[in-house]
Structure 1
Amino acid sequence: MACGCWTHKHGEALAQLIADLPFNTSGKLWMVDPYNDTVFNEQEAEAALREIPDLLDRCTDDSQVEAVRDLTAFLEDCATTPGSYLVFVGD
């Protein structure tokens, strides 16, 4: 089961934030590929939720904050729904 439905409304704001994350960390969000699809299962979504406070600290405008808040809701839905997946569709 896939969770949520993301719109392109926040795509650029979120993509920029994620692109600026350090690579090869213990986190999950840096693995989101802006050019290919990336899939998180419920455990990966739960792990990614721990990265949200840092992502919010990196926000430089309201559109980025709104994008992170929406992402948080999708991650929470996925993390609390057994057998679910959150799919990031690359460009």
Structure 2
Amino acid sequence: MGIELELHSVRPARSNWNMSRTSLLRGSYEHGEALAEVLATLKVNGPGKLWAVDPYGNTQFNEQESQAALGEIAGLLTQCSDAAQTAAVTDLAALLKACATTPGSYLWFIGD
């Protein structure tokens, strides 16, 4: 199980893979397993947004949701048990920040 990340300039089309490729700004594909592991430490229905990321499906955050999720990064870093998880959360933070500062963008969490 892993979670890949993609930053899109507009809401990606879930049903049309080719269409969603045209809006892709940046992707993160190397930390999937570690990101899924650390996100699994979050309490379901807990505070924040990141607990709602579906590890088996797709979840999208708009710029406002990404801005809100940025506030969870410091706490999530304390949940990291190794360097791979820390790298995954650091990469997530960079993409959340990019989404929060790019008008109309979406961060797509692509689960297995």
Give the TM-score band, short-chain normalised: over 0.9
Q: Kindly indicate which of the two structures has a greater share of residues assigned to strand.
A: 2
Aligned residue pairs total: 90
Q: Aligned with 1:64: secondary structure?
A: helix
Residues 1-91 of structure 1 aligned to structure 2 (within 5 Å): 1=9, 3-7=25-29, 9-91=30-112
Query: CA deviation digits over 1:16-67, x for unaligned, max 9?
Result: 1111101112300001101100000000000000000000000110001111
RMSD: 1.0
Which ranges of 4 or more aligned residues in structure 1 deviate by more than 6 Å? Answer: none
SS of residue paired to 1:59:
coil
The alignment-based identity, stated in percent, is 57
Counterpart amino acid of 1:6? S
TM-score normalised according to structure 1 size? 0.94
Which residue type is aligned with residue 28 of structure 2?
W
Q: Which has the higher helix share?
A: 1
User: Quick check: 1:4–1:77 contact (8 Å CA) kept in 2?
Assistant: no
